[in-house]
Amino acid sequence: MHDDRSLVETRLKRVLDERVRPAVYPESVPLQVAVWHAPGEPVPVAEGLAAEPEPIEVGARWGAPWGTSWFRVTGTVPQEWAGRTVEALLDLGFDENMPGFQCEGLVYRPDGTPVKGLNPRNQWVRIGAPVAGGEEVRLHIEAASNPVILDYHPFLPTRLGDKETAGGEPQYTLTRMDLAVFDETVWQLVADLEVLGELMTELPVDSQRRYEILRAVDRALDAIDLQNVNGTAEVARARLTGVLSAPAVPSAHRISAVGHAHIDSAWLWPLRETVRKVARTTSNMTALLEDEPEFVFAMSQAQQWAWIKEHRPEVWARVKKAVADGRFVPAGGMWVESDTNMPGSEAMARQFVHGKRFFLDEFGIENDEAWLPDTFGFAAGLPQIIRAAGSTRLLTQKISWSQTNKFPHHTFQWEGIDGTRIFTHFPPVDTYNCSMKGSEIAHAARNFKDKGVARHSLAPTGWGDGGGGTTREMVAKAARLRDLEGSAQVVWETPSAFFDKAEAEYPEPPVWVGELYLELHRATLTSQAKTKQGNRRSEHLLREAELWAATAAVRTGFPYPYEDLDRIWKTVLLHQFHDILPGSSIAWVHREARATYERIAGELTGIIEAAQRALAGEGATPLVFNAAPHTRAGVPAGGAATPATGGGTRLAPRAGGGHVLDNGLLRIEIDDRGLVVSAYDVEAGRETIAPGRAANLLQLHPDFPNMWDAWDVDEFYRNTVTDLTDADSVTAGEDGASVRIVRSFGASRVTQVLSLAAGERRLVVDTEVDWHETEKFLKLAFPLDVHAERYASETQFGHFHRPTHTNTSWEAAKFEACNHRFVHLEEPGWGVAIVNDSTYGHDVTRTVRTDGDRGTTTTVRVSLLRAPRFPDPETDQGVHRFRHALVPGADIGDAVREGWRLNVPERRLTGAGEVAPLVTVDDDAVVVTAVKLADDGSGDVVVRFHEAHGGRARATLTAGFEVEDVTVTDLLERPLADSTAPGRDGGRIAVRLRPFELVTLRLRRA
């Protein structure tokens, strides 16, 4: 037989596009349309419905950027349509290739009842099935004219990302507003032909099944009268019955489809628009659940559920019913789908506390899985946090985006820094927006790495990013793929049902140890510096507020601010969403974030000051409150006292120019360029700075990645570097313990103050940058005379090691990485720490000198600022302040302590006398991250701590109050069934911890 494959395949495409799909709506009549454009921000539904609109014609332009327009559409169903199915087709000017990224609408009945959302892949509203004829139609559309930020030519700078700069030019053209007859037979034929056509092209060219489908499709196309598609669709469908009913082979891959709409809580739209995106999507999904009995939909991010409850109670009622039916599934158990690299220990824990508690309180449902399809890599401390929250599983998709190395598993155990393992799945479909295309299903089956030992994978199915969710077309395709020869088998299932099957069939999957590093989007560790600073400072202010408020509540009866702390925590957690904290959202989002962090800082500072005043009492004794988890200058952790003083710092001229700072512990030489050419550890007799090199070196790189400007830095940025060594001035500080350096470069200016305080083994580097560069990357370099094959980076509840070499492509790909408060390098017996107060991105490289002793040195570079132009063309322009410290002679314990010290400044008051800590621990390796009152209002004191040095610890935790009982709990402060109460002698509690072990204790007060 002659090979006519391409002939039939081309025929199928044209007939579908030009004849069959248009015949789904064979008859239509126009609707009358009027519009009212809301001034300013969106208005309540009642106001939009009551507004008096003006007539508008199809073809008219509408919608200023970020505006809201209320359309009223009216009409009458023709009498001659009686007995047929009728739908309204409401096209606001959609581009069907951009679901979630442009204008959207939510349809209401005149009484304010929401009907469904409108988006580029969901433009219909059912009027009746069947209609009687003569029905009056009246619908209202709350339409959002969100501008297109990520267009066909992506990453072009645009001012549309903030309503303050977007202008008022209409963005869209009203395209279609009709009543139309819906021919379900033709619609089903479309699904038949699409499924078979897509499957056919994925099968091997020499396979019997491919040709069986080809011939059946050819015969079906012969049956279609192109001038009467509606009259011949039934016959065409009959010719496809045989190939559609052939069952899948027994070994077929099995896909659990989960209805899904990954909605970014902010990204190319502001937070307020996400509230409406969630309402539109959930309206569609509850309607689809009513129409499709096998369909299951899952939604994560408790914050988004809370928005529905608060802002759309009528939608919330439908959601609650669908949840009760078991088909609208709360997923993930986190407040938002957060970044997991940068949030601190407590913040990462609270993501699960607040997320899981919301689902428990509202529905009595607890999730076993963390659901993070789009997060940009996963910190090595996350597994034990997931487990401590009562979950055991993780789903993500994003690692499939890695540029260099293909991850070797799709189902595996992920082991964190303390040895905790989490059952993890990466869907091989390689998208969290699966649309049930044949190419997607075939790719999932081919791509699955665990063939022969497992056969199940998951496919998150529905339009996401900007929302929209699953469509009826996807459900129709899935029905045909349930048991179809040549295809993987598809069935709608909940996430928990999938994980149950996956774990049962694969009881001993492979293990991956350490971080799940995404080889992409590395620059999100640096973009939008003020957002990152706001997050870090808010985390520490929250810890302080809880500590001092709890201490004052127990000691003085101070009213513990439960509601305020709960609200502020949720606000901080929201801003850790994986496009806010990483700095990859539009200007509007980050402008609001800066204002939010400033407001939060004011509120938390007020709580801290009020609690400290209650504790200090009245008096003239000078007190320092120490909220850090280690004693400093004689002031105990979590207490207040008069600090010890002593020693001094000498500032002298340096031979050859510059200055010398010497406090008897460190001798720092700063040359006339303002660079640190020596940092001598007096006690160890050891130089810190690499021979012939200089630290405190600012370096400027060009920064124009191939894609994803705010997200990415590509390795070739290193090929060109400018060392900023010219100084405008290098002068001695008036305090006698610092040196001030001023530099100018490009359109920017840097002022640095290098300080060496008495009695301290750290050089503090305060850097102020007035930044006005474009597409540049600013680094701060510390070349260290340390031979290190690996270095430690702080992460949640501990630290982990990365190699300094690039032996493999996996190591080479980590050319930009994340740390929290410190990076630490060491040789046996001596090390160096670089600590920071608000930066995350860094790189570490090693060099072997070619002269002298040919020793190995290691350079740590801190990432300070970038200047991408998309999606915010003014990213980071303006003044920024950073604080870093170089700590020579530091072991890992010093790195932990100095990291806390730099981030939690002491607070000074006068009062009646010393304030004893509420809780103390007698081993610095045991770090207390939270002291608070229990969330249930019982008055119990909750203490969370972990082993921070990477070894085993035996310690005594002492409560500064009478303790009646001690319980080991999970993160949600619930007793752990499999734990033994620690030994106790009154308020003295004996604890033993394995390396990096996380423990939460609940202390009942007598």
Residues involved in catalysis:
374
Q: How far is CA 613 from each of CA 558, 959, 978, rounded to the nearest angstrom? A: 10, 22, 41
Kindly compute the dihedral angle of the four CA atoms of residues 21, 27, 30, 36, in this order, to the nearest 10 degrees: -40
Query: Cα 814–817–822 angle (5° rounding)?
Result: 140
Q: How far apart are CA 432 and CA 657, in angstroms?
A: 60
Cβ-count burial 320-352 (b if 16+ within 10 Å, e if not): bebbeeebbbbbbbbbbbbbbbbbbbbbbbbbb
Q: Transcribe 585-638 into DSSP letters.
A: S-HHHHHHHHHHHHHHHHHHHHHHHHHHHHHH-SS-EEEEEE-SSS-BTTBPTT
Q: How far is CA 870 from each of CA 162, 439, 591, 715, 717, rounded to the nearest angstrom? A: 12, 31, 15, 19, 18
Q: How far apart are CA 979 and CA 965, in angstroms?
A: 15
Nearest by Cα to 888 from 787, 779, 784: 784
Q: How far apart are CA 329 and CA 426, in angstroms?
A: 20
Q: Transcribe 472-491 into DSSP letters.
A: HHHHHHHHHTTT-TTS-EEE
What token pair was written down for 302?
A: 């408790």
513: which DSSP letter? Answer: E
Residues β-bridged to residue 933: 941
Q: How far apart are CA 348 and CA 372, in angstroms?
A: 13
554 close to 917: Cβ distance less than 8 angstroms:
no
Q: Report whether the peptide linkage leading into residue 871 is cis, meaning its omega lies within 30 degrees of zero.
A: yes
Q: For tokens 């939009």, what's the residue?
A: 48
Angle between helices 562-574 and 345-363 (to 10 degrees): 110
Nearest by Cα to 945 from 968, 959, 926, 962: 926
What token pair was written down for 868?
A: 């991408």
Q: How far apart are CA 876 and CA 880, in angstroms?
A: 8
Q: How far apart are CA 274 and CA 313, in angstroms?
A: 16
3-state secondary structure 992-1003: EECCCCEEEEEE
Q: Transcribe 421-439 into DSSP letters.
A: EEEEE--TT--SSB---HH
